[in-house]
Structure 1
Amino acid sequence: MQTPLNEADEKKVKKITCRSTPIRSKAIYILICSLIILAIAAAIISFVLFRNATILEYSGISNDVGHLAAKAIDPEMVDDYISQGENAPGYADTKERLEDIKAASHDVKYLYVYKIMEDGCHVVFDLDSPDLKGSDPGTLIDFDESFEEYIPQLLAGKEIDPIISNDEYGWLLTTYIPLKDSEGNCVCYIGTDVAMSTLLTSQLTFGVQMIFLFAGIVILITAVAVWLVDYSLVYPINSMTLRAQNMNFGDPEVLQENVKAIEDLKIHTGDEVEKLYTTFLSMTQKSTGYLDEIREQNDTLSKMQSSFIMILADMVENRDENTGAHIRKTAAYVRIILTKMKEMGIHKDVLTDEYIENVVNSAPLHDIGKIQVPDAVLNKPGKLNDMEYEIMKTHTTAGKTVIDQLIKQVPRCAYLQEARYMANYHHEKWDGNGYPEHLSGEDIPLSARVMAVADVFDALVSKRIYKPPMPLDKAFSIIKEGAGTHFDPDVVKAFFAAEEEVKTVEEQYHQK
């Protein structure tokens, strides 16, 4: 009903746990309880039917013995047997025949012949038993309490139903067969007592047999039901659970493999589980499609953002006749430095791929504040005076203000936060002598510390209206000298570890 899992996935499926009772256990509990209730009901019914059938069988035996005994007794001699006892003609022969009849039936415990009268039971014959000697002929025996309700019928000579009693003589089933004379009058009753202890033994044997029978049936049905529940319910659901747990929405290729793995389950149980599977598969396929669309839209937005940043930075740079390709070169240097720091294990808890991309993408905005600096100051061909320098320094806080406005519009944009740091703090110095807030050491955001090196280096090696480009060796020397005072030593270390890459970028833009 579904494609089998491989061995590794089989092990994982078996280890899947639930917060509470798993459906497999619930199904087993319900089944076992239902079967036990059914088995108890069936056992009780079977037990009652067996008991009734056994009583009916014993009643038949008792009746048969009674009728045989009736044939052996001459009804016309009953009164003589009572009055004369063993001296009555034919008494001994009749008693012998009765003993033979009793001996032929092992189930009969007592066999006796009573004449029922108002004063009690008058003994005609009372055969000896292994545990009780019979009464002599003519003996008067009081009515037993268990027979009181039947006395009127017995006095009237009528037949009565078998009687079950439990007294000093034991647990007995008694039948009374009337013996009638030639005129149809009842002259006495042949009493036959069958010991019910054999019935108890038979009932216990039957009960044990029923217990084993129903236990076997319960075990068999439970085993089959567990297999069906596992195969058609638990196994498919756990297979879907495993595939859902393995879903990786971060990697498009892996996600496609995950969807293919769900398709390959091919669950065909023909019931609600199959419906659940098809719905789950359809939802997953649609979700994957939506994610692809979202990913494409995000890529488009990301490209638009990058283009917007670059256009915005170009607008500022185009006002500044001194900077040339400054924003692109500094972004390239920032990428080189951050990548090298990551390779060297510096700030490895911070330098994730996402962080590096955010910093690099926002690097072109580090001088966005220059948009508020007057052209006369921004493009002055010579050295700035103190007042002009103070105006120029405001480009850091002005950049922060501009980006703060952007952050209000796009509050969850991570790269704008880094752009804010770089715009406001890229002129801070490691020793605290920078501006605008005189931050020092690691109080300066990492992205701004990296931009400080990239910004100064590019300013040194680039041509300006007021100066020629500085030789690379001298520029590198100045950066090295600034480690620990102007620059973060770790950033400088990474910068020099990537010296050749830095030179390559500079040469590329120098040729342009």
Structure 2
Amino acid sequence: MKFKLTRIKLSDIRTMCFEKIGIPVYVIAGALLNIIIAFIMNVFKLPLYFDTIGTVAVSVLCGIYPGIVTAVLTNVVCMLFNPTAIYYMIINVMIAQIASLYSYKMRQQKKMNFFVFVFAVSFAAGIVGMALQWILLGEPQFVEVVEMAAFINEQLGINYVFCTFVINLLLNILDKSVTIFIALSIVKIIPESYREAAFEGGWRQKPLSVEEREKIKRENIRNRKSLQRKITTMLVVDSFAIAVIMGITGLRLYYSNLKSEYRTNVKNAAKLASEVVNADSINWYLNSGKKPIEYNNSEYNKTNKLLSSIRDTVPGIEYVYIYQIKEDGCYIVFHTNETFQTEMYIGEVIPFDKSFDPYLPALLAGEKIDNFERADVFGFIITAYEPIFDSKGKCVGYAGADISESYIGDYMRVFTLRVILIFSGFFILILGYGLWMTGFNLIYPINSMASCLDNFIEDNTNQEKLDENVKNIKSLNIRTGDDVEKLYRSICHMASATAEQMRDIRHYADANAKMQNGLIITMADMVENRDSETGAHSQKIAAYVKIILEGLKRKGYYASKLTPKYIGDVVTSAPLHDVGKINIPDAILNKPGKLTPEEFEIMKTHTTAGKQIMEHAISTVSGENYLKEARNMAAYHHERWDGKGYPEGLHGEVIPLSARIMSVADVFDALVSKRVYKPAFPLEQAIEILKEGAGTQFDPKCVEVFLESMDEVKEVLIQYQNL
């Protein structure tokens, strides 16, 4: 058996490794990379992190939301071996946002400087991270930072807190420089096609270009009532409202439970304190009048230490003490307050405050009382008293314990901050998910459909563009699997049906136009057949009119008037300009000599007769613009620019534009064509007559463009010279 060895290219290996990788795989791989590196850093207690390499790579590769998911997943798992990791989740999320912005700018061809990118990430991570360390831990997280800051403070006198911030920022610059370099290197080795696939992995339609997405964003920003703005506002308001309601409710319940727990703790502390004191020695201690610090009695000192141990062991306890209650106040026997230990004397009296009034009879009687709250100079305090009985069963004092509610408040503030830090990462995750889903499943599909439909409506006069727009709509390939996709399918069906209907309408319109043109030519032939020497006058006139219209459009004259529809109407109806001659007697129409004044007056009536014929046709076929222009040309093509024409003596631009164009074309054809009453003029002579008439008989702009197009005019003359 023979084996064939083949050389495998590096590009083939990369393609096999990254083929068919989806966004979830990138997210899991990125989070796993973060977790492994974070675990190594935690084991060796290094003052660096490198736990955002996967976050940066996924954010650059797949976009903001996969980056945020990677960040949140990383910190949630890292909490298993580093309990404080969950509080730094917001930093990882911020890095994901900055990295995705960097990637997006690069795709917009707006290059973001690598060093600016590194500094932005380092500054955000360094400042926020250091602030969280001071708030949560009371000092920097790493011993190396503490020692270096202390050394600089001692040697140079620079503020210690400021030093910790600067050192932490520098460490983050080093950390994030290496992190970003490694992350971008990982992205670089992934084939271009798979990078694009990863970046476009969230689409539920044909991916839009960066420019198209930016256009949609700009339109949504300008439109205050845009769907994206409404959805974003709804998500933010609803998420924040739910978070606030649940947060307040949770904190109140937690505070209530914490307070209940501390009530139990203070009661237990008082109970323990009552058991460690030798009740038979209390009166003897009171009579000594010594300071505790001066007491050499080993039993007293031992009891003092036990009471301090209770204070330090039971959570939340601020003070533990032993009092003897008399009518004039509380006589101190033991107290864990340092002031009492060094400055006060055993047996000193603390007067009762008003909070003791309800309980004083029971205390004086040596009875048990419930926990109670009282106010002193330090704020509200939860107090528990436990009676102490001597060997004869007589109550000789009370063991007391205090928990300050300010302590509970401080604990609650730290707890609230931690909840906010944890929640902020998840809040951004939820908000990002909402925006991600609505963007790819709602905003982009709807805007894409709207854009295609706008083009479909605007270009409906051209069947080729209409068919192209139908293809564009179908190429969107929206596949959200919900009502948006259902709407898209309906729009595709409607667009296809509309395009086919427009095709049929155009087919019928073309057939109708051909029929109309045939009727026009027939009517023109009826007139020409009465004058055998006109020599294809109608065809030549239509050609000259078209030349003048195109010349005016090319020069930008009468731009608002010269629409494609108008040009088509004028050219189509040009042969009807002399339709009124059908009413002129043959003897006058074909007279070889000069007409008498009476005959000329009759000849001039062909303009009014033509107007009447066209108006009758217009009333029969309402709304046909080409007939309206036929009426204008039939009625006014003998009007003059200076107002000396007929039948109404109109002047300048008061004369309809179609009639002014026809005037130039009609006179030129009459000059260069043979008539029964004259021979054909040479072309040069006809041109001179037109030049002389510009501004008097003719619209000078029409003459200008006609003479500039003389090559085309000559082609018409050659075409019809044998007719």
Q: Is the pair's TM-score, using the shorter chain for normalization, greater than 0.5?
A: yes
Q: Confirm whether residue 273 of structure 1 aligns to residue 476 of structure 2.
A: no
Q: 1:224 aligns with which of 394, 415, 433?
A: 433
Q: Which runs of 5+ in 2 are unaligned?
A: 1-203, 290-296
The separation in 2 between residues aligned to 1:53 and 1:310, in whole angstroms, is: 100
Matches within 5 A, 1:361-372: 361-372=572-583
Matches within 5 A, 1:294-373: 294-320=505-531, 323=534, 325-339=536-550, 353-373=564-584
The separation in 2 between residues aligned to 1:352 and 1:128, in whole angstroms, is: 100
Higher helix share: 2
Aligned to 1:15: 218
Aligned to 1:39: 243
Q: Confirm whether residue 111 of structure 1 aligns to residue 321 of structure 2.
A: yes
Shift of 1:4: 0.7
Aligned to 2:446: 237
Paired-residue identity, %: 39
Shift of 1:167: 1.6
Aligned to 1:130: 338
Q: Confirm whether residue 480 of structure 1 aligns to residue 684 of structure 2.
A: no
TM-score (ref. length: structure 2): 0.60
The separation in 1 between residues aligned to 2:352 and 2:557, in whole angstroms, is: 113
Alignment RMSD, CA only?
4.0
Distance 1:3-1:120 versus aligned 2 partners, 3 A rule: same
**Larger deviation: 277-286 or 389-398?**
277-286
Helix, strand or coil at the partner of 2:461 = coil
Aligned to 1:174: 383
Cα shift readout 1:30-54 (whole Å, capped 9, x = no counterpart): 3333333333334434433444444
Shift of 1:143: 4.7
The separation in 2 between residues aligned to 1:431 and 1:418, in whole angstroms, is: 22
Shift of 1:330: 2.6
Cα shift readout 1:353-385 (whole Å, capped 9, x = no counterpart): 544432221121111112322345445566544
**Larger deviation: 414-423 or 180-189?**
180-189
Q: Confirm whether residue 48 of structure 1 aligns to residue 258 of structure 2.
A: no
AA paired with 2:527?
V
AA paired with 2:369?
I
Q: Confirm whether residue 71 of structure 1 aligns to residue 275 of structure 2.
A: yes
Shift of 1:265: 1.4
TM-score (ref. length: structure 1): 0.81
The separation in 1 between residues aligned to 2:375 and 2:685, in whole angstroms, is: 121
Aligned to 1:160: 369
Aligned to 1:455: 666
Aligned to 1:30: 234
Shift of 1:398: 1.3
Cα shift readout 1:181-214 (whole Å, capped 9, x = no counterpart): 7797766532233455543432332232223222
Matches within 5 A, 1:247-262: 247=456, 248-262=459-473
Distance 1:436-1:131 versus aligned 2 partners, 3 A rule: same
Aligned residues: 501
Distance 1:282-1:48 versus aligned 2 partners, 3 A rule: same
- Say if 1:12 and 1:242, in contact at 8 Å, map to a contact too: no
Cα shift readout 1:35-78 (whole Å, capped 9, x = no counterpart): 33333334434433444444445444443443344334566x48
Greater gyration radius? 1
The separation in 2 between residues aligned to 1:353 and 1:286, in whole angstroms, is: 26
- Say if 2:632 and 2:656, in contact at 8 Å, map to a contact too: yes
- Say if 1:62 and 1:174, in contact at 8 Å, map to a contact too: yes
Q: 1:81 aligns with which of 283, 294, 304?
A: 283
Matches within 5 A, 1:390-469: 390-410=601-621, 412-429=623-640, 433-439=644-650, 444-459=655-670, 466=676
The separation in 1 between residues aligned to 2:613 and 2:335, in whole angstroms, is: 126
- Say if 1:320 and 1:379, in contact at 8 Å, map to a contact too: yes
Cα shift readout 1:241-295 (whole Å, capped 9, x = no counterpart): 3333444223322222222122111112223332333333333333333333333
AA paired with 1:63?
K
Distance 1:321-1:274 versus aligned 2 partners, 3 A rule: same
**Larger deviation: 304-313 or 187-196?**
187-196
The separation in 1 between residues aligned to 2:394 and 2:680, in whole angstroms, is: 151
- Say if 1:373 and 1:391, in contact at 8 Å, map to a contact too: yes
The separation in 2 between residues aligned to 1:142 and 1:7, in whole angstroms, is: 77
The separation in 2 between residues aligned to 1:266 and 1:313, in whole angstroms, is: 54
The separation in 2 between residues aligned to 1:166 and 1:121, in whole angstroms, is: 16
AA paired with 1:130?
E
Cα shift readout 1:389-411 (whole Å, capped 9, x = no counterpart): 32222111111222233344556
AA paired with 1:102?
L
The separation in 1 between residues aligned to 2:555 and 2:396, in whole angstroms, is: 125
Helix, strand or coil at the partner of 1:190 = strand
**Larger deviation: 313-322 or 346-355?**
346-355
- Say if 1:65 and 1:101, in contact at 8 Å, map to a contact too: no
- Say if 2:355 and 2:374, in contact at 8 Å, map to a contact too: yes
The separation in 1 between residues aligned to 2:641 and 2:274, in whole angstroms, is: 131
AA paired with 2:305?
D
Distance 1:434-1:483 versus aligned 2 partners, 3 A rule: farther
The separation in 1 between residues aligned to 2:670 and 2:543, in whole angstroms, is: 14
Shift of 1:343: 5.5
Distance 1:126-1:381 versus aligned 2 partners, 3 A rule: closer
Looking at both structures, which has the greater relative contact order when contacts are Cα pairs under 8 Å and sequence separation is at least 6?
1
Shift of 1:126: 4.5
The separation in 2 between residues aligned to 1:352 and 1:169, in whole angstroms, is: 88
The separation in 1 between residues aligned to 2:557 and 2:397, in whole angstroms, is: 120
- Say if 1:69 and 1:98, in contact at 8 Å, map to a contact too: no
Shift of 1:229: 2.9
- Say if 1:179 and 1:189, in contact at 8 Å, map to a contact too: yes
The separation in 2 between residues aligned to 1:69 and 1:344, in whole angstroms, is: 107
Distance 1:25-1:158 versus aligned 2 partners, 3 A rule: farther
AA paired with 2:274?
A
Distance 1:86-1:413 versus aligned 2 partners, 3 A rule: same
Shift of 1:111: 0.9
Distance 1:54-1:419 versus aligned 2 partners, 3 A rule: closer
The separation in 2 between residues aligned to 1:196 and 1:449, in whole angstroms, is: 98
- Say if 1:59 and 1:173, in contact at 8 Å, map to a contact too: yes
Aligned to 2:424: 215
AA paired with 1:112?
I
AA paired with 1:178?
P
Distance 1:334-1:130 versus aligned 2 partners, 3 A rule: closer
The separation in 2 between residues aligned to 1:341 and 1:168, in whole angstroms, is: 97
**Larger deviation: 488-497 or 302-311?**
488-497
Aligned to 1:204: 413
AA paired with 1:66?
A
Cα shift readout 1:423-465 (whole Å, capped 9, x = no counterpart): 123334456554323445655444334433443454456566x
Cα shift readout 1:270-326 (whole Å, capped 9, x = no counterpart): 233323333333333333333333333332332232222222223333444554633
Cα shift readout 1:112-136 (whole Å, capped 9, x = no counterpart): 14357xx466748454742246675
Helix, strand or coil at the partner of 1:111 = strand
Cα shift readout 1:321-363 (whole Å, capped 9, x = no counterpart): 5546332333233334544565577666655554443222112
